[in-house]
Structure formats: C-alpha cells, structure tokens
Structure 1
C-alpha cells in the first residue's frame, strides 16, 4: 500500500511533458455604463452580446485582467412610433465600440455599427436591435487591432513583469506573482521565459504550502499519537498536492503513525489510509486531466483578482471614452 502511495507521487514527473496551448489569452473586460438611457435589462443583454463578440474572437470574456476593457456606447439616432395593434416602437441605435487600456487611459481601437429594432416598448425595441450584433470581418478587424496593441504593451513591459513577479514570489505572495505572469499573452517575445517562470513559481508555491500542511500534520500527530491524532493529521495530508519534494516526509509520517497505533485500532486506521491513498490518486488524475498547468495558473490568477482587485479610478477613464 505504501509503495502505491510512493508511485502515485512519482507520477508528478509527467508535468514536465506539459505542452502549453498557443492561444492568445488576451484578457478584455466588458464595461457598459449605467449612465445611459438604456434599461437594466437592455444593458445586461448588450453586455452579453459584447461578451460573445470577445469570445468568438478568442478573447477572454470574463473579468480577469484589471486594465483592458471594451465599452459600447449607444446613441439613439432615430425613434418613432409605428401605429397599429399593438402599437410598436422603432429605434435606430448607433453603437460605438472602443477597446483600450483603462489604467493608462488609451483607446486602442474604435468601431461603430447601426442597428434597427422594433418592439412593443423601448426595452424590447432595444433588445431586438442588440440581437443583431454578430461577429463578422469588421468586428474581427476591430478586435485584432486592439489585441495587437495589447501584445505590444506586454512586449514592452515583459522584463519588469517577470522581475516584479519574482519579488512577489520571494515575499511568498505566490498567487499575486502567478496572476501577473499568467496575463502575458502568447505572441509576446518573452512568452517562453514567462512560462518557465510561471511553472517554477507554481511549484515553489506548491512546495511551500505542502511543507506548511506537513508541519501541521506532524504537530497534530505528535501532540496526540492516537487514532484521533492520526485522523487529524491525515486531514492535513489530504490537502497536500502530489510533490516529489514532500514524498519522503509524508511516507515517514504515515509509517510512524502506522507503527504506533494499537492492534484494536488497525482496522480503522487501515480504512483511513486506503481512503487517503485513493484521494491522492484522484487528485493527481484530476491535475493531469486539466487542460494543463497553465490553465491551473490562470484560475489561480483569476481567484487572486476576484479576492484582491480594488478599482483604481478606472470608471472615470472608461466614461470618457
């Protein structure tokens, strides 16, 4: 049984074979101002349609980056009532799309399109117009222009991004470092350097967290060398990610608990140990069945942003576009 646990950890070497996908991972957020005559229902629908445009053009459509945005400003060019039963409203809506850097307040790309919608009220008329928003060559050119500018942005700052991530990693701010690096898109000159740094920091974070959990497991067992102490210790061990660096210490702790427990407790301990082994195997399988280590890092970055991002007066810039 213990040998199987060892072999499970050894499978981690497969991570060295990871092939990273060559996708842009450009991160652009959608911002639809509330300072508009549109109803909330219309704004939400417009936001969904603009998000779909980003998705259709291989642009990350969720709040992940904290600086690049697409805005859509609506201008009512014409509105009139169509008599009949029921009475309907026709609206001609001109939408101006802009993509840019909200931190530096720079617009990278602009595009306008006009849509006509008819409905029994203004909201339905607007939603009917927005339903016509679909990706086409003009949209793709508009978005590609912005993507090229964003790649240029990261190319010019790549060295400083790597350096800042390294400082954060040295300060044990691993999630922040991973977040910074995972934003760098494919196509930047230093992309391979970023991936190498990203992988190194991810495993450094894993080792640091594993050692902390292992220390807590050892303390739980040393302070109460009984089945209850073993149960608590295994609870910490379950949180440890498969890693060759902690494999030997985990095995030594399990061996010491195995020797110490009395005969009448062995059956319960055996069940607990089997359950732990099974969970570790599933955990490793789940890691390997993920798209790749890069996607794991991207999710860590997104979690960090969700928990820590504080707007730095971006709204004023976005409203001025």
Structure 2
C-alpha cells in the first residue's frame, strides 16, 4: 500500500496505519468529533466483518452526539481478540467465535490513549466472515460500561482543548502566516463549543485569518476576471468574468476595484451590444456572516482528499 504522511499540525510527527479523509459535514463544526478507525493490525478480519465493525463504531459516534468526520485528530478504534474459535458439526457446518472487542478513544495524532474498554461478544455463522459479523452485531450500544467509556473519552477530548488552547491558536496563526490559512481556519473551527473558554478564543482569532485569506483571494480572482474579459470583450466575456468575481468576498479591500471593473464591463457591453448588463455585487458581511463564511472554508478544506496517519502503537 502506498504510504503518504500528511501533517495536520506542523509540530507533530505521526506514525501508524492509514485512514482515508472523507468530506466534512457543516453541522459537525463546533462539535466534539471522533473518527472511526479500523487499523490494518486487526489480523485476519474479513472485509465484510471489518465494514460491520466500522459501522458499529460509527453508531457509537452518532448515538453519543459526536461529529462523524473521518481523519479527525481524535479517534475511536478497536482491536479484536479471538478467545475461542470452533467448528460446529451441524448441517451445514457452522463457525462459532467468542471475541473480546477492545475499544479505545484517544489522540490519533500524538498517540495518546484516553479511554479503553473491552466488550465480550459471541457469533455463529456459516463461514468465518458471517461469524464475525454476527458477533459484532451483538455489541450493545446501551451497555453502561460502553457508555462510561465514551463519557470518559469525551471528557478527555474537552480537557485537551482546554489545556492546549494557547498552542492551537498560536499554531493556527503560524499556519496563516505561511500561506496555509484554510488549514488554520479548519483547526480553529474544530474547537468544540463544549470547550467554552477555548471555543470563544478560537472564534475570536478566526476573522483576522479569514480576512487575510480573502485579501489574497480577491487580488487573484480579480486578475483572473480581467484576463477573461481581455480575451473576449462582449456579453459572453462579461458573464465569464462575473462567475469569477462572484466568488470574491466583499470584505476584501480590493472589492472597490471589483466595483470599478464591473462598471467598466457594463459600459463596454452597452457600447458594443446596445444592451444593459447587470451584475449584482455581494453585500458586505457582518461579524456573524464572517464566521459562517470561515466555517464554509473549513468544510471545503476538510473535503479535500488526503491521507492521515494515525499512531496507535502501544494502545493494545
């Protein structure tokens, strides 16, 4: 398997197996998030059984109100131990398994385990895969021990943000200063609302980084629009340019130049085509709109395909 290491925070080094990054959901921003992760070290687990186990982990995530973004810093993972494996002399022959499903919640980037529990289950099936699947189906999501495990993991995640808040904000500012503003915004908006103090401080740091991003974006897109117009100075060229201009945030200081350029195009279209060309400019954003726009940036960043390396060595 091709190995690719992506660092989400510049000071962290990762080691371990891989989990594919999936698109983030906008309603997950601001929630405590966990990624369901099944490591390659789970030996001899058939693909269908692996999918069932991942489904169970995602059910735990969903039932307990976590955001469900894959590739997140914090993970819930499992190690399956076969206690007994027997062939039953039935017609047809059946495979019977007794398993200990050891569950873990922790920081997958730094390799810090927060909580663990063991869930004993049994399953019988016509083959090994079906026996595993039926065993995993017997994981009781309402088991008090499982609930205590999840609660402990959640509390540890919240504690992480509260104790690392200064580092998170500083690293975000460093990322922004090196041209990685989208990643910086993503990290800041990943702070859960449950971490009241850190969440407020992180949100307060977002507008400055976002505005720096839109300044760069405005200049780039305005030049793109001017090139499109220069290549085709008629209503079609104006429409092509307007598609690019519509992506520019009106908070950017160069937006005044956008307005001048739009007026110039409208005047030229009137001269050559003898018709009105109207392009509706975006309205200025208030502080709430800026935060919402920044969240959209974070969601778009999370949706970019990447591979994340998790370090779970020593967890079992």
TM-score of the superposition, structure 1-length normalised? 0.75
CA RMSD in angstroms comes to: 3.2
Paired residues of 2:36 and 2:76 also in contact (CA < 8 A): yes
Structure 2 gap ranges (5+): 1-26
Residue 47 of structure 1 corresponds to: 54
Q: Distance in 2 between matches of 1:90 and 1:116?
A: 7
Residue 4 of structure 1 corresponds to: none
Aligned-pair CA distance for 1:297 = 4.3
Q: Deviations over 1:165-200 (max 9, x none)?
A: 112222332112112212322233321010121243
Distance 1:92 1:223, change over 3 A: closer
Q: Which structure shows the higher helix fraction?
A: 1
Question: Aligned ranges for residues 96-175 of structure 1 at < 5 Å?
Answer: 96-136=102-142, 137-175=144-182
Q: Distance in 1 between matches of 2:47 and 2:172?
A: 39
Residue 296 of structure 1 corresponds to: 296
Higher RCO (CA 8 Å, separation ≥ 6 residues): 2
Which of the residues 185, 192, 196 maps onto 1:185? 192
Residue 8 of structure 2 corresponds to: none
Distance 1:130 1:266, change over 3 A: farther
Structure 1 gap ranges (5+): 1-19
Residue 14 of structure 1 corresponds to: none
Indicate the SS of the match to 2:164: helix
Which of the residues 97, 102, 109 maps onto 1:91? 97
Residue 17 of structure 1 corresponds to: none
Aligned-pair CA distance for 1:156 = 1.8
Indicate the SS of the match to 2:139: coil
Residue 244 of structure 2 corresponds to: 236
Q: Give the length in aligned residue pairs.
A: 284
Aligned-pair CA distance for 1:100 = 1.7
Larger-Rg structure: 1
Aligned-pair CA distance for 1:109 = 0.6
Aligned-pair CA distance for 1:253 = 1.4
